[in-house]
Amino acid sequence: TLDAVVVQGGNFIQSIDVSQTDTRTVFTAEQLKELALPRDINAVALMAPGVINSTAYNSSSSNVGSFGGSAASENAYYINGYPVTNPLTSIGSTTLGFDSIDQQQVLLGGYGAEFGRSTGGVVSLITKRGTNEWKGGVYAIYTPESMRSDYKDIYYPDTGHWSSGNHYNTASGNNPANWTDGKLFDLNRLNRSETQVYGFYLGGPLIKNRLFMYINAEQTKTDRESSRVRGNLNGTTASGGSPISAANRAQAWGVYNDTYPRWTAKVDWNITDNHILEFTGVQDNSKTEAAYYGFDYTTNKRDNVLYSTSTTESKSRLYIAKYTGYLTDNLSVSAMVGQQKIENFANPMEGYDPTKIYTDLSPSSVPSAYAGITNQQKYGPTYDFDGVDKTKARRFDITYTLGNHDLRAGYDYFEAVSYLGDGVVGPTGYYWSYGLASNPTAALDASHYVGSPASGGQLGTQGYYVSKNFYAHGGATTVKQKAMYVEDRWQITDNLLLSLGLRNDGFTNYNGKGLAYVEQKNNWAPRLGFSWDVNGDSTFKVFGNIGRYHLALPNNVSVRGSNPSLSTAQYFTYTGINADGTPINPVAIPYTSATSPYTCANGGFSSNVECGYDKDPRTIAQVDLKPHYQDEFILGMERNESESFSWGAKATFRDLKNAIDDICPTECFIFNAGSNKATFWEDDGTGNLVKVEHDFAVDFGTAFPKLKRKYAALDLYAQYTEGGFFGRIDYTLSHNWGNAEGQLNSSVDTGNGGQSDVSVTQDWDLPELMYGVSGSLPNNRTHQIKGYGTYKFNDQWRVGGSAIVQSGRPRSCYSYWPYAKPGIYNGAYYSYCGVPGAQTAVNNPNVTPNADYTFSPRGSAGSTPWTATFNLNVTYNPSWAKGFTLAMDVLNVFDTQTATGYYERSASSRTTVNPRYGQVLYYSSPRSFRFTARYDF
């Protein structure tokens, strides 16, 4: 179960638990207080073997882990047994005040039939509770800016194609604003961040032996500043100006105030010795107030002219009630109900004018005569509606002991409803975006029948164009999940425990009108585990398990998949630009086909035919769609060599058997990834729906490869405890390979995070996108070494440390498809490297590309460097002030800021090298110091 695990002894001594067949790492409140780690549940989870930082999905306040080769959205998070995984995307979770955590359990596989809905890992948080002794405390934590190392700047790579001495002989190449090789791209060294945390806790008996309470409240406040603009920051235009537009320079420096007020409350009522009620309440709020000022990138100075402000806010409340009844010596029951509401407020920026159209314009994309024009709309181009997520859950479990059998059965239900939406600012529902083509006579998007700038005349003959972009999504979306399970924990002998379980999961997803578009019933998941207490004294354990684990579609799939969605662009040439940034005399660039299936009623085209119309929910997904599921096999052992030393080994193999994504022949439909035959409901032309079976190898002319994602790992650990010393080290040798990351796609990350369209990623949209993508996956880290420990010199002084050393992430190179094949995406999304050339012979795949253009399978561009992060702390408990504690933590002691991701798109058009190819996207965090003062009574 996910109830608290009994951890015996002091100094972190943990006896081998022969009653568990799963694999879990348990961090107690004592460890969380003493180990040198960031105060974040995901940072703690990263210390477990097989868990890596999924860099592309981190937020400003927390990291997100990939467990055992799975995508970052495939994990499950619980607080006191209630599911708190992000109800919209499944990436991340609700959290709580760090001091209110009694245990953090990190389950890495093999868990019993009572839990599911995860093909990654499980993070279970157990809150503290009151006891018969009143205890309380106050604490303050300070991370000063003055002692933080500078963040590293990011520069353009030296491509050899974008400099004054070597550039393309075109309007784009001759523009000094585009001479970027080796230039500053992202100014980070002036970024500032300082954090303060204040909190208290109190717990004890309201009625001794019967009624207990516990409360923890804390507020985290971070003040930070940073540059907001990325680009050729120190470059110049032909006229000597900045390539960064005046509008962007006027808001280039951000000043942010982040606050996180959190509280946790727990009431335990022992009605009798056999009947217990528990009530839990959790608040997890956040608020960011931002102010934007001008910045001069020639002097690296900000001004004090306020451009605009904004406020974003999230409010989360969680309430849980649980009853446990011990009805007889052999029979017990438990029931839990709960609900959560998460409100997201995206307030418009100060200065927003609803009468003005947003225009995206930079000096490098327009004729020099118009380089000084600024965007009149201060906010945009899109905005989010206020959103809300509501969840409710209930479960019932019954346990009966019959001889050597502990029989369990149960039912659980979870429902999540999300309301969200976004659109374009201003009065028209569209915005303008200016561009400059390096080859004016080449089609802007031949695959979708968009002609060349020159074909529109006017300034298009020089390569200048502007796009008119419509964008709107939104509505309600719901997912309901039900499960039943049975389990027999059979103590065959005194030394051998066998766990036999069977779980049945059901998932149903609904659109904004409450109509089901995916219904998956009776998904059976067998679980088999064993624990062999070899010596009969809990000193040598051999264990293993085999299981199947299912995962539901999250709510975000419906946002664009089953609800109306509008995303179109239409290209124009022009003769000039008005003072408000709108084009003068816009003339539509003609389509090369009058019957293009990608053209919408508003005149724009959409590569996925998102034209804004209603969809029949029956036509959204493949008939008889199978759920995402994975099979897992684990065999391991643990051994105590003495009272001080223990070690263990574990082998794991995971095989993703089925996944869900979308396929996009023109419109997008949900299907089982890797299938080449599927049946859909389709309109027969008379308004009636009929079942139509598709053979994708025939429809596309190319078959999809079979889905493959596998993970194999060998985990070794050693743990030593002696006197005041405790230390543990874990080593993982693993390989994560296949042709799909899972529910996510972090390979498309260009510095703003991976694709978070869970289960509707770019993968599997077209067969061409899956050509050459088999190899080591983004979450592969061949070697991982992790260690943590403490040493207590005496009752007053203690030191602690932690470390993570691991090999790098695979690197790939992507480019355009060899020729402009109709229907494929016009971008560097394919497993090729280099520049293909301006081939537009759409019916001739045998065109000759540029000499540097080559097939480039996934992972063939090497890997990122090894990373090594060491943390240390020292704690002082003065004997002259009982209950008082002073501590200092140094995070990333050696300030090893290592590149953890690179830009992987090698071409920015069919004829030009991408100036960012090979650029660093992220560095690991710089060294920081954290000071803690607390008083406990």
> Which of 270, 267, 135 is CA-nearest to residue 213?
267
Strands 583-584 and 775-776: unpaired
Is-contact 681 619, C-beta < 8 A? yes
Label residues 104-120 b or e (16+ Cβ within 10 Å = b). Answer: bbbbbbbbbbbbbbbbb
Q: In whole angstroms, give the CA distance from residue 241 to residue 177.
A: 9
What is the arithmetic mean of pLDDT over 786-798? 97
Backbone angles phi, psi at 533, to 5 degrees: -85, 90
Question: Among 353, 347, 448, 344, which residue's Cα sits nearest to residue 88?
Answer: 344
**From its phi and psi, is residue 251 left (phi > 0), alpha (psi between -120 and 50) or beta?**
alpha
Q: Do the beta carbons of residue 377 and residue 348 sit within 8 Å?
A: no
Which region among 110-114, 377-381, 573-577, 594-598 has the lowest average model confidence (pLDDT)? 377-381
Element (H, E) at 699: helix 696-700
CB-based contact 175:212 (threshold 8 Å): no
3-state secondary structure (DSSP) of residue 9: coil
Q: Distances from the Cα of 489 to the Cαs of 24, 117, 169, 486, 545, in angstroms? A: 18, 21, 74, 10, 13
Query: For residues 838 and 759, is the Cβ–Cβ distance under 8 A?
Result: no
Question: What are the tokens at 762?
Answer: 């770019």
Radius of gyration of the chain (CA): 29
The DSSP secondary structure of 314-332, one letter per residue, reads EEEEEEEEEEEEE-SSSEE
- Percent of the chain surpassing pLDDT 70: 96
When pLDDT is averaged across residues 815-827 and rounded to a whole number, the result is 89
Q: Which has the higher per-residue pLDDT, 312 or 62?
A: 312
Query: Left, alpha or beta for 906 (phi > 0: left; psi -120 to 50: alpha)?
Result: alpha
What is the SS3 string spanning 463-484?
A: CEEEEEEEEEEEEEEEEEEEEE
- Distances in whole angstroms, Cα of residue 739 to Cα of each of 89, 267, 644, 704: 22, 49, 44, 11
Predicted confidence at residue 506, as pLDDT, reads 97
List all residues 6 or more positions away from 58 whose beta carbon is below 8 Å from its beta carbon. Answer: 64, 753
Predicted local confidence at residue 175, as pLDDT: 82
Closest CA to 254 of 212, 226, 286, 218: 226
The first and second tokens of residue 216, run together, are 């923890």
Report d(CA 934, CA 142) in Å as an integer. 12
Rounded CA-CA distance 386/932 in Å is 37
SS3 of residue 297 by DSSP = coil
Q: Please, what is the Cα angle at 534 between 531 and 540, to 5 degrees?
A: 85
Whether the CB-CB separation of 26 and 5 falls below 8 Å is answered with yes
Contact 429, 381 (CB under 8 A): no
In single-letter form, the type of residue at position 791 comes to Y
Rounded to an integer, what distance in angstroms lies between the CA atom of residue 186 and that of residue 598?
36
Nearest-angstrom CA–CA distance, 861 and 854: 12
| Residue 8 pLDDT | 43
Q: Do residues 459 and 555 touch, judged by C-beta distance below 8 A? A: no
Question: How many Å is the maximal CA-CA distance in the chain?
Answer: 89
Dist. CA 187–CA 788, nearest whole Å = 34
Share of the chain above pLDDT 90, in %: 78
Rounded Cα gap, residues 765 and 663, in angstroms: 4
On the question of pLDDT at 842 being above 60, the answer is no
**Can you tell me whether residue 589 is helix, strand or coil?**
coil
Looking at residue 346, its pLDDT comes to 78
Q: What is the pLDDT of residues 1-33, one digit of tens each?
A: 666 655 544 444 457 999 999 999 999 999 999
- Do the Cβ atoms of 130 and 213 come closer than 8 Å? yes
Domain ranges of the chain: 23-124, 140-936
- Enumerate helices (H) and strands (E) in the chain, giving the number of each: 5, 52
Strands 76-79 and 122-127: parallel
Work out the mean pLDDT of the chain and round it to a whole number: 92
Predicted local distance difference test score (pLDDT) of residue 12 = 45
Residue 12 φ/ψ, nearest 5 degrees: 70, 10
Per-residue pLDDT, 1: 63
Q: Flag the least confident range among 164-173, 350-359, 592-601, 828-837.
A: 164-173
Which is it for the CA torsion 47, 50, 53, 59, positive or negative?
negative
pLDDT band at 847 (very low <50, low <70, confident <90, very high): low
392-429 pLDDT, tens digit each: 999 999 999 999 999 999 999 999 999 988 889 889 99
Nearest to 94 by CA among 394, 342, 386, 280: 342
Q: Specify the 3-state DSSP secondary structure of 572.
A: strand
Q: Which amino acid, residue 29?
A: A
pLDDT score for 7 = 53
The tokens for 247 are 């509008």
Which H/E stretch holds residue 410? strand 405-424
- Looking at residue 683, its pLDDT comes to 83
CB 179 within 8 A of CB 164: yes
Q: What pairing do the DSSP bridges indicate for beta strands 907-909 and 928-936?
A: unpaired
**Are 155 and 184 a contacting pair, CB within 8 Å?**
yes
Distances (CA, A) of 890 to 126, 384, 428, 868, 875: 27, 38, 52, 14, 12
Cis peptide before 87, with omega less than 30 degrees from 0? no
- Please report which confidence band the pLDDT of residue 247 belongs to, taking 50, 70 and 90 as the band edges: confident
Other C-beta atoms lying within 10 Å of the C-beta of residue 929: 15
Q: What is the pLDDT of residues 144-203, one digit of tens each?
A: 999 999 999 999 999 999 998 888 877 777 888 889 999 999 999 999 999 999 999 999
Backbone conformation region of residue 893, classed left if phi is above 0, alpha if psi is from -120 to 50, else beta:
alpha
Q: Find the mean pLDDT for residues 250-255.
A: 95
Name 159's Cβ contacts closer than 8 Å, sequence gap at least 6.
181, 913, 914, 915, 917, 918
User: Would you identify the CATH topology of the domain 140-936?
Assistant: Maltoporin; Chain A (2.40.170)
Within a 10 A sphere around the Cβ of 206, how many other Cβ atoms? 12
Instruction: Report the pLDDT value the prediction gives residue 3, as an integer from 0 to 100.
Output: 67
The β-bridge partners of 792 are 798
The CA distance from 593 to 599, in Å, is: 10
What is the pLDDT confidence band of residue 840, given thresholds at 50, 70 and 90? low
Q: Using an 8 Å Cβ cutoff, are 719 and 638 in contact?
A: no
Phi, psi angle pair for 700, to nearest 5°: -95, -15
C-beta of residue 534 within 8 angstroms of C-beta of residue 542: yes
| 733: β partners | 714, 783
Q: Give the pLDDT confidence score for residue 4 in this predicted structure.
A: 63
Whether 843 shows a pLDDT value over 90: the answer reads no
Q: Which residues contact 320 (CB under 8 A, 6 or more apart)?
A: 79, 80, 81, 82, 278, 279, 280, 281, 336, 337, 338
DSSP string spanning 640-688?
ESSSSEEEEEEEEEEEEEE-EEEE-SSS-EEEETT-SEEEEEEE-SSS-
pLDDT of 219 above 70: yes
Q: What are phi and psi of 723, to 5 degrees?
A: 60, -120
* Low-confidence winner among 421-430, 712-721, 726-735 (lowest mean pLDDT): 421-430
The CATH code of the domain at 23-124 is 2.170.130.10
* 3-state DSSP assignment of residue 301: strand
Check: CB of residue 571 under 8 Å from CB of residue 450.
Answer: yes
Indicate if the pLDDT at residue 246 is higher than 90.
no
Q: What phi and psi values does residue 197 have, to the nearest 5 degrees?
A: -125, 130
Q: Return phi, psi of residue 361, to 5°.
A: -140, 130
Taking the C-alpha atoms of residue 123 and residue 909, their distance in angstroms, rounded to an integer, is 43
Which tens digit of pLDDT belongs to each residue from 307-366? 989 999 999 999 999 999 999 999 999 999 999 999 998 776 666 788 999 999 888 899
- The model's pTM: 0.92
Q: How much is the average pLDDT of 904-928?
A: 94
User: Do 235 and 247 meet the contact criterion of CB atoms below 8 Å apart?
Assistant: no
